[in-house]
Amino acid sequence: MLKYLKQYSGKIATLLGLPAVARRELFSDIRGLPNDDPGMDRVIEEGVTWIGLAQDCSRSHDGGVARHFSLFDGWGTSYPETTGYIVPTLLFYAEQLTDQKGEEARHRARRMLNWLITIQFPEGGFPGGTIGASPQVPVTFNTGQILLGLASGVRSFGDTYRAPMRRTADWLVQTQDPDGCWRNNRSPFAEPGEKVYETHVAWGLLEAARIEGAAGSRYAEAALANINWALHHQKANGWFEKCCVNDEDRPLSHSIGYVLRGLVEAYRFTKDSALLEAAMKTADGLLPAIREDGFLPGRLARDWRGTVRWSCLTGTAQVACCWFLLAEETGRSVYRDAARAANRYVRRTIKVEAAPETRGAVKGAFPVDGDYCAYQYPNWACKFVIDSNLLEQRVVGEGESP
């Protein structure tokens, strides 16, 4: 612990000024990870329960999911973007069950969808930021994430959500530039400029195309145009330019996870070997960055070297998802093994015996003061951890030890 405390030797006043609960959590983290891994099943169950609590405790009380729980000031208001892609997580979880837990997850997903369609702009887009944030304008990235939820809603519940899904997909097609990039309707809460991680928006269009069949061909064309645009910014070693909200030279593992998932899903849709090769370049580039214990640095330089001492747990889980999917597609055990190590690391940061507000929740960073959602438990971190552990169950099997 002493070597970690040295990092904070000049910050004693800051440490003393923290709320007691935040200070305790930080001191717990800088002692290091516990040895115990709670396992896939426990983390999934506790995570789903926490998502339900975040929905019930949102300050805006609207059916959406609170953006986060903060050790400084408690629950946030609902976040449309992440509520949108939490929906398919709950519905996929529910598909594995035939009991009351599955029914509750479906009910919660439907409440989220019913709220989302009430805040859709007439032209089809959705607002950026949390409810109550200003300005309230349609934003491409956030809209694409909500499209993932609407598409899964159509698949699970039928035509109730088909018209909103089509409006959303149509708006994304109509607002796309000829080269496949979305340059208008950028988020007012991120630094300006083109973003390759909008391949995750393209994934939403691919899901809409799957549902619409031949009638959705224009959605697939727009999605693949964006993928091809993004690939012009991929380097030989798999690293991407224009891949961060606020630091293009040291992108977050979170935004790298977004761009990689878009590539993986584009390959899964098309079976185009060139897209698989591109996804593997990035996936292979990430492999040397992960330590044996599963630690993945929260920011990565152009040579895939970690540039920070903290982990963005959201990004670690997202990258694990991509490695598991590529393990399925290629049979390469190196992807499966790296994904399992990443999942083990994140699981060890999660408390499954704690106050309800943090039990099963996932920190933005580890240690908790890392420069990504510091002292917060963001809802999307929990979502991606549930996803990565559900994928581990599918790829590896529930019976295998963690």
Q: pLDDT tens digits, residue range 148-176?
A: 999 999 999 999 999 999 999 999 999 99
* pLDDT over threshold 60, residue 293: yes
Residue 272 lies in a domain: yes
CA geometry: angle 362, 249, 327, nearest 5 deg: 55
Q: Are residues 158 and 136 part of one domain?
A: yes
- Contact between 125 and 168 (Cβ < 8 Å): yes
What is residue 12's predicted lDDT score, i.e. its pLDDT? 59
Beta pairing, strands 365-366 & 74-75: unpaired
Q: Are residues 13 and 72 part of one domain?
A: no
Residue among 346, 300, 386, 314 at smallest CA distance from 92: 386
Which has the higher per-residue pLDDT, 6 or 227? Answer: 227
Residue 303 lies in a domain: yes
Q: What is the token pair recorded at 177?
A: 């530039």
Q: Are residues 71 and 133 part of one domain?
A: yes
Q: Are residues 57 and 6 part of one domain?
A: no
Residue 58 lies in a domain: yes
Q: Are residues 67 and 12 part of one domain?
A: no
CA geometry: angle 200, 376, 35, nearest 5 deg: 95
Contacts of residue 51, Cβ cutoff 8 Å, sequence gap at least 6: 65, 86, 89, 90, 108, 379, 382, 383, 386
Q: Are residues 145 and 70 part of one domain?
A: yes
- Per the DSSP assignment, residues forming a β-bridge with 325 are none
- Of the listed ranges 15-24, 200-209, 217-226, 305-314, the least confidently predicted one is 15-24
Residue 401 lies in a domain: no
Residue type, 383: K
Q: What is the mean pLDDT of residues 30-41?
A: 94
Contacts of residue 37, Cβ cutoff 8 Å, sequence gap at least 6: 344, 347, 348, 402
Which has the higher per-residue pLDDT, 180 or 17? Answer: 180
Residue 256 lies in a domain: yes
* pLDDT over threshold 50, residue 399: no
Q: Are residues 104 and 19 part of one domain?
A: no
User: What's the pLDDT band for 11 if we cut at 50, 70, 90?
Assistant: low
What's the number of domains the chain is made of? Answer: 2
Q: Tell me whether residue 151 is exposed, middle or buried, using C-beta atoms within 10 angstroms of its C-beta: 0 to 12, 13 to 18, 19 or more.
A: buried
Q: Are residues 65 and 19 part of one domain?
A: no
Q: Are residues 109 and 16 part of one domain?
A: no
Say how many CA atoms lie within 13 Å of 222 toward its Cβ.
26
Residue 114 lies in a domain: yes
Contacts of residue 100, Cβ cutoff 8 Å, sequence gap at least 6: none
pLDDT digits 0-9 by tens, 342-381: 999 999 999 999 999 999 999 999 999 999 999 999 999 9
User: What's the pLDDT band for 402 if we cut at 50, 70, 90?
Assistant: very low
- Contact between 235 and 241 (Cβ < 8 Å): yes
* pLDDT over threshold 90, residue 142: yes
pTM (2 decimals)? 0.95
User: What's the pLDDT band for 187 if we cut at 50, 70, 90?
Assistant: confident
Q: What is the mean pLDDT of the chain?
A: 94
Q: Are residues 127 and 165 part of one domain?
A: yes
Residue 402 lies in a domain: no
Q: Are residues 58 and 11 part of one domain?
A: no
Residue among 188, 120, 190 at smallest CA distance from 149: 120
* pLDDT over threshold 70, residue 1: no
Domain that holds residue 385: 40-396
What is residue 246's predicted lDDT score, i.e. its pLDDT? 87
User: What's the pLDDT band for 401 if we cut at 50, 70, 90?
Assistant: very low
Q: What percent of the chain has pLDDT over 90?
A: 89
Domain CATH code at residue 275:
1.50.10.10
What is residue 209's predicted lDDT score, i.e. its pLDDT? 98
Which has the higher per-residue pLDDT, 328 or 247? Answer: 328
Q: Are residues 176 and 200 part of one domain?
A: yes
